[in-house]
Structure 1
Amino acid sequence: MYQHHFTRKLNKKCDQLPFLDDSFDLIACRNLVCKLVEPEKIYQEWHRVLKEGAEGLLLSY
């Protein structure tokens, strides 16, 4: 189970996140992936801000 110090909801451009490289242990995303026009750009940006060995959790229903 993940233990977190804070949770942040972000309403910004997903391909230009305002965070440093290797900033997060987890990115959780719900009902966004199916709406992305250029998902590869967003995945690259998520990869940039995730720490090495971190995980992305993408939920869609």
Structure 2
Amino acid sequence: MKSIKTFIKEYTMITFLENILDEMRPITSATILWLLFITVVFFSFFFFLGFEYSGAQYTIK
């Protein structure tokens, strides 16, 4: 299941980037908001992941 999910995520990201490169339309407020949303989601995900790992390490100590 994990490999299938990662494959789907990679495939969707590749198609997303291909669509952006194919269209190459001028940047609008909608695309800016979409990119901000993606960056916020990624940063929050990595932040919580690192926070969990650091908490586990501190509890081990």
Normalized per residue, the structure richer in strand is: 1
Q: Higher RCO, 1 or 2 (CA under 8 Å, sep at least 6)?
A: 1
Which structure shows the higher helix fraction? 2
TM-score in same-fold range (> 0.5): no
Structure whose alpha-carbon radius of gyration is higher: 2
Q: TM-score, normalised by structure 1?
A: 0.30
